[in-house]
Structure 1
């Protein structure tokens, strides 16, 4: 059976919106002051990059736990290029997975990243439909 997500997004006035989530939490969305907003919330396109990093990050974190890997810190940097013409969209996206630690098992961590990218992350698959993706895995051995 197909899963359906239903999100309600309410206008708060000026250029701000509040959008709910099946988790029960809400986020505020707004645009920059120079574009007519109040800069009081998250920007819609940038939020897509957070969704991409969050989706893949959850996969990798789950695999780190399952594989019992020793990682002191893990973060993802997502750098995207917006097209010049309207409607503007991300045509290229670089996703950098950064792992910090003393005993990093690089092959296993790379496997976790690869599984997320190739098999598990649905947001990654959505991005593939409109963007060229560049994936980098960077190990910071202490």
Structure 2
């Protein structure tokens, strides 16, 4: 990946398209946003694959991420709380949490930061009637 200096940040060209990165949201994605999005989407993607293999009837999944940063340490990310909102039929909370644990152990982004950022996960279930 090559990043090129621009007036208000950096730009890179990726297979999917152009990515602008800046400390100012007017000119691109902020680095912490990209990190949080990477952790949440990696975790969600692995979780989804596990649920599909188990034939768990998931109609929709949303991930809400909240971030705690330490202003005294360069605004360092200290904690990311991920809430997985799962909509489906006949969902078993215990089975979902076991699958999420497996996903956590297989998500490269979570594993990459697990010793420096606290990652907390919870699940909200929305049961759909048939």
- Superposition TM-score, scaled by structure 2 size: 0.86
RMSD: 1.7
1:8 aligns with 2:2: yes
Report if the CA contact (8 A) 2:44-2:63 is conserved: yes
| CA distance in structure 2 between the partners assigned to 1:141 and 1:82 by the alignment | 34
More strand by share: 2
- Give the structure 2 partner of residue 35 of structure 1: none
Gapped regions of structure 1 (runs ≥ 5) = 1-6, 33-37
Provide the secondary structure at the position in 2 that maps to 1:41.
coil
| CA distance in structure 2 between the partners assigned to 1:86 and 1:46 by the alignment | 17
| CA distance in structure 2 between the partners assigned to 1:105 and 1:135 by the alignment | 17
Return the structure number with greater relative CO, CA threshold 8 A, min gap 6.
2
1:45 aligns with 2:53: no
Q: CA deviation at 1:90?
A: 0.8
Gapped regions of structure 2 (runs ≥ 5) = none
1:29 aligns with 2:21: yes
Number of residue-to-residue matches in the alignment: 127
Q: Residues 32-87 of structure 1: CA distance to partner in whole angstroms, max 9, x if unpaired?
A: 2xxxxx61321111110000011111101111211111111101111111101242
- Superposition TM-score, scaled by structure 1 size: 0.79
- Give the structure 2 partner of residue 135 of structure 1: 121
